[in-house]
Amino acid sequence: MGNRRVGNNSRYRDSVRSYVTRAGRMTDAQRKAVRTLLPRYGIFASTDPGEQVDVFQVFGRKAPLVLEIGFGNGEALIEMARANPEHDFIGIEVHEPGIGHLLLRIRDEGLGNIRVIHGDAVQTLSNLFQDQQFDRVCLFFPDPWPKKRHHKRRIFRPYFISLVTSKLKIGGVLHFATDWQDYAEQVLALLEREPALENTTESGFSKNRAGRPMTKFEQRGRKLGHGVWDIIMHKR
């Protein structure tokens, strides 16, 4: 199963996007960071499937590689990179204020083990990365699109799961977390249909965060009694 490739249905693939563009306030500092720091800490997406990322050249070493898709303002990514200096981290995000915020933190903390991609996750994974590239792929609190008529916009769909799975190494981990129960149940059902993935927990949901940092948003939610559901899958 390790070398299984995603079906080459280009018409469907091209219609899939991992985000819906939303406006957001961007500070002058964030705007400047995107302009001046992204060339230093960024990996630039290509539309040519033949131009894949040379991870060794990017980081200058061979190390366990972690991908976070949709890192928001980068809070969890910073915490993971700081706590695991022996790992390398790549974050994908489309929201420019969040990218600017993360770039400023990377510079201020001198973290050399994070690189940033400004772009769509589906296109990026399809074009830039080899199969079996990542030791871990994380999706923490993606937009739940709570209204039922918007559920079709949720990132977790069979094609996306197959794509992510193809980029995981054998034994690699896919870690998903959400604070919306119905989304957690939907994702669990989809992930358990993927033959190359195996749940690490018999109940379906993990009782611990398994290295996922607790964000300030999550801390506030827990104080109000809100639940969080973690799903941790291994690639067979």
Cα radius of gyration rounded to whole Å, the chain: 17
CB contact at 8 A, 54 and 123: no
Three-state DSSP class for 185?
helix
Q: Which of 54, 143, 179, 182 is catalytic?
A: 143
Can 143 be counted among the known catalytic residues? yes
Residue whose tokens read 């996750």: 121
From the list 171, 139, 212, the residue with the least C-alpha distance to 64 is 171
Cβ atoms of residues 133 and 3 within 8 Å: no
Residues 63/87, Cβ–Cβ less than 8 Å: yes
Q: Cite the DSSP H helix spans in the chain.
A: 10-15, 28-36, 38-41, 55-59, 75-83, 96-109, 121-128, 158-167, 181-191, 216-223
Catalytic residues: 143
